Structure 1
Amino acid sequence: VLDTADRCPNTPAGMRVDANGCPIDADSDGVADSADRCPNTPSGEQVDAQGCPVATDSDGDGVVDSADRCPNSPRGATVDSEGCVIPQDTDGDGVDDSVDRCPGTPAGTQVDAVGCRILFQEQQTTLILEGVNFQTGRASLTQSARAILLTVAQSLIGNPAIRVEVAGHTDITGSRDTNMRLSQSRADAVRNFLIRNGVDAERLVARGYGPDEPVADNATTAGRAQNRRVELRRLN
């Protein structure tokens, strides 16, 4: 190629050149064929100094882009050999960890679409908190009651639109005035526990009903036990 037409006047002797006097780069990767160890690199591929594809991993999942079928996997997600997210369900509730708002749900708990305990079934507005018990004549929650209420708190946090009333009830043992005060104190104790564990206070009200709303016969021991209860009443 004459110097007057040579765009690459310093090409080493013996190198194959094109009509402009420049080294031939058949795959257009920026590396001349004479130095290109990967002469058939696909167009647009990022290459190293030897013309071979650089092993890039755009989404940082450990699978190079050229083999990644899911190139936009979330950072930190566990992926398979093709770079696609492997579903994870740590607590075994049937809801993938990526959308599970209550990741520590106890085994066997019926959960909603976001992995939180279902508090209110369809059309249900009242839930008796089975197992939420107190020390006799007091408003102190037992340890087992606290464990149950933690799952309730999780569910309420996972479903932030729900507002509830915490309703306290007693049997007819003792005076009505005493039972009214006790039921209010117990409702307050449950509400305060839920607030301390992350539920917005504006979503909770507490009310004591004393012995006024029995669900069983106060003439029997079993009936009185059923009447000593705390309920959640959905307000919306």
Structure 2
Amino acid sequence: MKNVRNILVLVSMLVVVAGCSSTGGGSFTDSRWKCAAVLGAAGGGFGAIDDSDAAVTGALIGAGIGALFCGGKDTDGDGVKDSKDECPGTPPGSPVDERGCEFDDDGDGVVNSEDRCPDTPAGVEVDSRGCELDSDGDGVGNSKDQCPGTPAGAKVDAKGCELDSDGDGVVDSRDRCPGTAKGTPVDNSGCDLEKEYTLHGVNFEFDSAKLTSNSTHVLDEALKILKRHPDLKVEIAGHTDSVGSAEYNQGLSERRAKSVYDYLTANGAKAASLSYKGYGESAPKADNGTKEGRAENRRVEFRH
């Protein structure tokens, strides 16, 4: 009779577990040990109807069933029970690891199901789609972009650098003279470099060879020309107006030309390709009788 009662207890416990597990939503069967305790108590209650020995047996049977069959709910259906699932809510059909988390094969922090750019190289920064960042929007990812900061809309090569169709060293978006013959020295607009190229905006302190602070920007632009044509022989020519003696102006123009030479060579220009010379007041371009004319005559030029 006791054996029959024990069998009934076992069947009852299984029915309870099956019924609770099928309802979902946080029943006591979600926790293995809570379930064991509840079913152990229930089993003991069933057994107590018979006698104390049956109560102990029922409690053991109930606890055993709880420990074996409870805690097995898998809410998101990914094959990993809720009690071990560190990533609940996985999309249906997504392969997961033993923790219940989706795979991220390229290790970029974006799981496979959301990764629109699989096989991203290790260490590359990506956006929410798993695609490499392209800060300047030129179509070349940051890790391969050798020319960051490309202007919007500019055509680039595979390295992310703007195209220079005529090969003159000035990119197409800045080239005002496309189609320049190969080897022709050009200015920063991509046009033929004048034989006497005036460095407009290069000025000096009064009666001095010291460059003014706003002259460096002009000289930095001039550096681009020299670095683009490192073997071009260039003379830096200094000129003054006619105020003062011709001898004094000759020396002043020489010192000013050297100041420009020193700045350019100190900042990367090829010294072997440069020379400097002062011409004093001997080569005016405008009328020294006017303030405007004298200002125009005080100048520095590239001659090649």
1:213 and 2:283 aligned? yes
Task: In structure 1, give the amino acid aligned to 2:228.
Answer: N
Query: Structure 1: which 5+ runs fail to align?
Result: 1-38, 42-46, 101-110
Which one of 106, 115, 119 corresponds to residue 56 of structure 1? 106
Q: Distance in 2 between matches of 1:78 and 1:198?
A: 37
The normalised TM-score by structure 2 is 0.45
Deviations 1:6-60 (A, max 9, x none): xxxxxxxxxxxxxxxxxxxxxxxxxxxxxxxxx999xxxxx9789x865215xx7
2:302 match: secondary structure:
strand
1:183, 1:209 within 8 Å by CA — same for their partners in 2? yes
When the two chains are superposed, the root-mean-square deviation of aligned CA atoms in Å is 4.4
Q: 1:67 to 1:189 in 2, by over 3 A?
A: same
In structure 1, the residue matched to 2:242 is 172
The normalised TM-score by structure 1 is 0.56
Task: In structure 2, give the amino acid aligned to 1:67.
Answer: R
Which one of 178, 193, 210 corresponds to residue 124 of structure 1? 193
1:141 match: secondary structure:
coil
Q: Distance in 1 between matches of 2:104 and 2:256?
A: 66
In structure 1, the residue matched to 2:117 is 68
Structure possessing the higher relative contact order (Cα contacts under 8 Å, 6 or more residues apart)? 1
Q: 1:142 to 1:76 in 2, by over 3 A?
A: farther
Q: 1:221 to 1:195 in 2, by over 3 A?
A: same
Deviations 1:176-210 (A, max 9, x none): 22222111111110110112222221232212121
Q: 1:209 to 1:53 in 2, by over 3 A?
A: same
Task: In structure 2, give the amino acid aligned to 1:68.
Answer: C
Which one of 248, 251, 266 corresponds to residue 181 of structure 1? 251
Task: In structure 1, give the amino acid aligned to 2:250.
Answer: M
Once the two structures are superposed, the pairs formed by residues 1-236 of structure 1 within 5 Å of their partners are 55-56=105-106, 67-68=116-117, 81=129, 82-83=131-132, 85-87=134-136, 90=149, 99=161, 112-113=170-171, 118-119=187-188, 121-125=190-194, 126-153=196-223, 155-156=224-225, 159-161=228-230, 163=232, 164-233=234-303, 235=304
For the pair shown, the structure with the greater C-alpha radius of gyration is 2
Q: Which has the higher helix share?
A: 2
In structure 2, the residue matched to 1:24 is none
Residue 114 of structure 1 and its aligned partner are, at CA, apart by 8.9
Calculate percent identity across the aligned residue pairs: 30
